[in-house]
Structure 1
Amino acid sequence: MLLRSRIARTAIALTSLAALAACGEKEAGSAAPAAAPAVDQPSPTVSAAATPEQNPEVVEAPVTPLPKPTVAKTQRRVQIYSGPSNVSLSPAPDQGRGSNIVQLNGTASADIGTYAADGKGMTLYRFDKDTAKPSKSNCNGDCAETWPPLLIRSPGQIYPSGINPQLVGYVERADGTCQVTIAGWPVYLFSKDTRPGDIKGQGVGGTWFAINPTGGRTKPLPEVVDMPTTAAAR
């Protein structure tokens, strides 16, 4: 009877130690999840002669983290970074004065060359009636309804990709909002562009052009030449 009691106490102690060890691994941050009790499923064994079909191995390519961007330039309370963010960005809601986080991307186009786009992929334009030195927007009122300025709210952050951060800044508009600039040129969206990559504003009025990463005009859209049909040619 005494022997049976000692055996029972020993079994309870060993069970408690095993439980503490498992909790300790979990607390220490072990990547291995706790194993579920096996039910009619013996642990698989790997034979040295097993074929790839019998024992497929999943090899994941290493993920190279993006370099952490650094502040390349500061304009008052707006920080302009050396490149795109290496983490997901969550800008505060735009309440009519712009977002506190703006992304700029150099985007290639076979039709007009490389142009600047915002973080959603929408084309950014420049207006020939604005000035770059000094930076000034001359598009207000109804003009700004058709061509909404890209605004940055202070304090804010701008993350350019494919655009020299030293060329990026902002200018204060007549209504007190701050408009993003590239090489001094205020940049705008076009209200008739509805999808990323749309360039419906290119060449409008001979004064609106998608802006390139150095602040210049992109090239005009290629002319579409209507070829006569065979019937018309006869």
Structure 2
Amino acid sequence: MLLRSRIARTAIALTSLAALAACGDKEAGSAAPPATSATDQPSPTVSAVATPERNPEVIEAPTLLPTPTVAKTQRRVQIYSGPANSPLSPAPDKGRGSNIVQLNGTASADIGTYVADGKGMTLYRFDKDTAKPSKSNCNGDCAKTWAPLLIKSPGQIYPSGINPKLVGYVERADGTCQVTIAGWPVYLFNGDTKPGEIKGQGVGGTWFAVNPTGGRTKPLPEVIGLPTTAATR
């Protein structure tokens, strides 16, 4: 009887331990690892050895762009330390701008380095605006020809080739937020239809593509036509 009682107690204890182990796995949310067979085991790594018949293939690791960090914050707009290292997906612009803006320093043999938006369209500054304090004086019909580059809050601005500390925005008369470089509001020209065009350069003697420090780029070179020679009789 005593031996039979000990055997019974031992069986109950083993059953309880098994139940506790199962509950512990369930509470931790872990599942038992699947059974593996010899065919499931990973094959050993074989290093490539050069032979006269076959040279090992050299695979270059992809170059990773540095992850930009927030260099400056203006209310709910974050200005980053450089371009994004992954494709950007801004929300649709519903008339108050996009929540993601890219600024790219772009080289030009004609006018020097200027700033373009993420689509490659030239950005301009207006001499009748002010930088200190930052203010746009292009409204109404003017803003139909020279569309302000708007950032919607909360937003993100990614400059490339521009000091992020110089980037910000100013609130316009209609309550929208216009991107600025060194305090100068920047605009798109409706006469530019393709990336890289600078048809607004020098218009009215007051509109110029903006450079990465907020200044004017140099005027377009003058085109000097060859003198026409009168026909001799």
User: 1:232 offset after TM fit, Å?
Assistant: 4.4
**Cα distance, 1:47 vs. partner?**
9.0
User: Larger Rg: 1 or 2?
Assistant: 2
Partner of 2:10: none
Q: Which moved more, 1:61-70 or 1:84-93?
A: 61-70
Report matched runs for 1:39-188 at 5 Å: 48-50=51-53, 55=54, 58-188=57-187
Distance in 1 (alpha carbons) for counterparts of 2:221 and 2:57: 48
Secondary structure in 2 matching 1:103: strand
Count residues in correspondence: 193
SS in 2 for 1:74: strand
How many angstroms does 1:227 deviate by? 1.0
Shift of 1:56: 6.8
1:18 CA drift (Å): 4.7
> Could you tell me how far 1:88 is from its partner in structure 2?
1.3
| Unmatched tracts of structure 2, length 5 or more | 1-35
User: CA distance change for structure 1 residues 116 and 233 in 2, over 3 Å: closer, same or farther?
Assistant: farther
Q: In the superposition, relative to structure 1, how do residues 57 and 96 fare at CA in structure 2: closer, same or farther (>3 Å)?
A: farther
Deviations 1:27-86 (A, max 9, x none): xxx9x9xxxxxxxxxxxxx99331xxxx57653333221111111110000000111111
Alpha carbons of structure 1 residues 125 and 49: separation in structure 2 relative to 1, 3 Å: same
Distance 1:120 1:48, change over 3 A: same
Q: In 1, Cα distance between the equivalents of 2:146 and 2:206?
A: 12
Kindly state the Cα deviation for residue 182 of structure 1 after the two structures are TM-superposed: 0.3
Identity %: 79
| 1:161-199 residue CA offsets vs partner (Å, 9 max, x unmatched) | 110111100000111100000000000000010111100
The Cα shift of 1:210 comes to: 0.3
| Matched residue, 2:18 | none
- Residue 141 of structure 1 and its aligned partner are, at CA, apart by 1.1
Unaligned runs of 5+ in 1: 1-15, 33-45
Does the C-alpha gap of structure 1 residues 233 and 80 become closer, same or farther in structure 2, counting only changes over 3 Å?
farther
Q: TM-score, normalised by structure 1?
A: 0.77
4+ residue segments displaced more than 4 Å: 55-58, 231-234
Distance 1:88 1:206, change over 3 A: same
Q: Which residue of 2 aligns with 1:17?
A: 37
Question: Which SS does the other structure have where 1:189 is aligned?
Answer: strand
Contact 2:71 2:81 (8 Å CA) reproduced: yes
Question: What TM-score comes out, normalization by structure 2 length?
Answer: 0.77
RMSD of aligned alpha carbons: 2.2
Q: Distance in 2 between matches of 1:210 and 1:109?
A: 11
2:187 counterpart SS class: coil
Residue deviations 1:130-161 (CA, integer Å, cap 9, x gap): 11111111111111110000000000000101
In the TM superposition, residue 233 of structure 1 has moved relative to its aligned partner by 7.7
